[in-house]
Each structure stands twice: as C-alpha cells, then as structure tokens.
Amino acid sequence: MREAFALRHPEMALDKNGYVTDFRDVLLPQVAAEDFEADLNAGDGNELQTKFRAVHSSSALAVNCFAPFRQRIADLTLLNNRAFETLAFEQKCPTGLRGGRAPNLDVLLSGPDGVVGIESKLTEYLTSHRAAFSPAYAEQIRDEWREQGYFHEMLRLKDHPDSYVWLDAAQLIKHAFGLARTFRDRRVTLLYLFWEPANPDASQVFADHRQEIANFAERVAGSGPDFKAMSYQIYQGKKLIKRFNAYSYMRLLNALDSHNIGRKRGNIDDVLASIKARTLVIGIVSDLLFPLREQIYLSERIPGATFAPLESLYGHDGFLIETNKIKTAISRFY
C-alpha cells in the first residue's frame, strides 16, 4: 500500500511507518477538510495528527468514501436506506457503564428510517485479535440485554478469547451495546465495512476473515442492533447500481462506439484539418476507454495542436481524479 501511494504521489514524503506529513495528503481530490475535520478534532486521540495520516488508515478510508455526501446527504444510499439526514465521523455511543470509555464509530448515519453505525477496516484485520472485556460489561448490564445474542457472544468470548483470529468481535460487541443504549427507540444497524484487495483469493486470510464474519453474524442474529457486513468494493458496486440503470450504460457505450465526426462531413482527416481553434489534446496514458493512440491521432491531424500525455493509475477515471495534472497542462497551454 505504501508503494502504491508513493507511485501515485512521488512528490509526497512518507516516513518509515507509511505516514504522510499532513492529513490532507491522504484525501481524494473531491474531499473537503471542512466536511469532517471538526468531527475528528472532537474525537479521542488527536487522530488527524496521528493515525489518520497513515496511508493505511481505515478512518481516512471512511472519510474519503463518505465525506463527499456531507453536503448532499440526500444522494447517499446504503442498505436500501435512501432517507439519511445527518452524517458524522468519529462518533461515540456510550454504553452507560461506569468507569468505561465508549469506542468511536467511524461513521454514524441517521434519518427517519433508522440509524446506521459503521465500523471501517482497512488492513487492521490482517493482525490477529484476542477478545477482551472489562468486568463491568457482565456486572453492570442487568436489563433485557442479558438475553441478547451480543451478550451471549461476549460471555462465550470471555471463556474463549481466541475464537476469532482476524475479526475484532469484541470491538463490534461494544459498538452494539453503545448503539442499542443510545438509540433505544430507533431501528439501528451496525455495519462492518471492510477493505479487500482486487485479488482476495490470493491469500487464505481473506477467506478466513469472511468466514469469521459469517460466524459472528449467525451468533448475533435476531439481536439489536441488526448486524450487517460488506466489503468497500461491494458497497461501491451497490451504490452504482442504485444510481444508474444498466441499460443507460449500454446506450452510452453505443453512442461512444458509433460517434463519427466525419459523418455527413466527408473524410475524418479533412474534418480535423479544418479546425481553426487553438487545440490542447490531453490523453491519460492508462485510459482504455479513450486510448492514448486516439488522442495522438487527433493531435497529429489538428493544425498546431498541442498534445499532453498524463500518467495515472486510474485509467479513464484519471480525467476526474488527476485534477492537479490536468490543471498544470491547461496552464502551460495558455
């Protein structure tokens, strides 16, 4: 992960632990600091100046994913819920136990249809976990929660703390207690949102992690809050499906494939040669939708055109993400 970041941002310094100098260096271009900075500054541990600066930060992953919705919350769809009204980061849901400290939820969403608390994981689960609970949980929880699956699973883990290797089940149980107490009369979901590489089949760890998630979900089924889990890749895919109809992409692809500037105008080369305007042609080297060879073709046939190839890891999406490189190319042209 450090190597990929260094390749993408060769101008940024990383220390030996994979930390950047400024927390803004781990943000995507479309993420604004004002959409999350106050939340993280109000949390524990001065996170913006510590863990958030890591290229492997799960908190930064959650911020990059959800912060763009802070100003357009109506566009956010998650777990079939389309009616969120508030979005907050690093939020505490106190368990009400004396002498304890509530863990921070990475994201908390709320709306008329219910509440969703999100625990985000990047690479943390690749380190083994051993369940541990303060005695206060068993001693001070005396209400109906003692009959819930989360409480029973806690008792089981106190006797068998190594039941889960990769899943931090104790943390999830503590989040569940806090969410249930904070939102007693609301529909509540605890979502475990985790990263996986593009090739999870390359290591047994990822399959074992998923199996542990399934085991945990089965043991707490029927309890509140409702437990859900998905990878970030699945979340992004479902979000896309809900926002766009697949047939619209078929029509779009057909329009792209059938576009012909020479139609009813004559030879394509003659049409390009007739362009009088000053022209800058920008090509993303890794773009497979509009291959670089096509941009070169245009620049060679438009009189006086300037060609600017840009390196990017993001393929066609580079034209949306590489804003600084595109800005530099345009500035040099003008």
Write out the chain's pLDDT in tens, 334 residues: 777 777 777 788 888 889 999 999 999 888 999 999 999 988 776 788 888 999 999 999 999 999 999 988 988 888 876 689 999 999 989 888 886 677 789 999 999 989 999 999 999 999 999 999 999 998 898 878 888 899 999 999 999 999 999 999 999 999 999 999 999 889 999 999 999 987 888 899 999 999 999 999 999 999 989 999 998 877 666 666 666 676 787 788 788 888 888 888 888 999 999 999 999 999 999 888 888 999 999 999 999 999 999 988 778 888 888 889 999 999 999 8
What pLDDT does 59 receive?
93
Task: Provide the phi-psi class of 265: left if phi over 0, else alpha when psi is between -120 and 50, else beta.
Answer: alpha
In order of 9, 40, 211, 311, 313, the CA distances from 322 in angstroms are: 11, 27, 38, 9, 10
Beta bridge partners of 190: 117, 227
Are 201 and 119 in a shared domain? yes
**Same domain assignment for residues 290 and 157:** no
pLDDT of residue 61: 93
Q: Are residues 238 and 143 in the same domain?
A: yes
Give the end of a domain, one of 243, 261, 293. Answer: 243
Residue 154 belongs to a domain = yes
Note the pLDDT of residue 102: 75
Q: What angle do CA 105, 162, 199 make, to 5 degrees?
A: 65
229 and 286 housed in the same domain: no
Residues 81 and 200 in one domain: yes
Please tell me the distance from the alpha carbon of residue 179 to that of residue 151, in angstroms, as a whole number.
14
Asked if omega into 225 is within 30° of 0 (cis), the reply is yes
Q: Are residues 92 and 192 in the same domain?
A: yes
**Which pLDDT score, from 0 to 100, does residue 45 have?**
65
31 belongs to a structural domain = no
Helix pair 149-159, 204-220: axis angle to 10 deg: 130
Question: Which residue, 243, 264, 295, sits at the end of a domain?
Answer: 243
* Same-domain pairing of 199 and 304: no
- For residue 231, give the nearest of 67, 77, 74, 118 by alpha carbon: 118
Give the count of domains, the chain.
Answer: 2
Q: Which domain holds residue 230?
A: 72-243
Q: What pLDDT is recorded for position 288?
A: 83
**Of 227, 243, 259, at which residue does a domain stop?**
243
Residue 59 lies in a domain: no
Per-residue pLDDT at 28: 86
Verify that 203 and 327 share a domain, yes or no.
no
Same domain, 139 and 189: yes
**Does any domain span residue 139?**
yes
Q: pLDDT value at position 235?
A: 65
- Whether 43 is in a domain gets the answer no
**pTM (2 decimals)?**
0.74
In a domain, 263, yes or no: no
Residues 213, 310, single domain; the answer is no
Residues 160 and 154: their CA atoms lie apart, in Å, by: 10
For 89, list phi and psi in degrees, rounded to 5. Answer: -110, 150
pLDDT score for 313 = 76
Angle between helices 232-243 and 58-66 (to 10 degrees): 0
Q: Can you tell me the distance from the alpha carbon of 332 to that of 282, in angstroms, rounded to the nearest whole number?
A: 12
Written as six digits, the tokens of 9 are: 């941002």
Pick the closest to residue 242 from 117, 115, 75, 67 (CA basis). Answer: 75
Assess if residue 268 is contained within a domain: no
Residue 183's pLDDT is 93
Whether residues 85 and 219 share a domain: the answer is yes
Q: Within this chain, do residues 135 and 235 fall inside the same structural domain, yes or no? A: yes
Whether residue 315 lies inside any domain: the answer is yes
* Beta-sheet pairing, 86-92 with 104-111: antiparallel
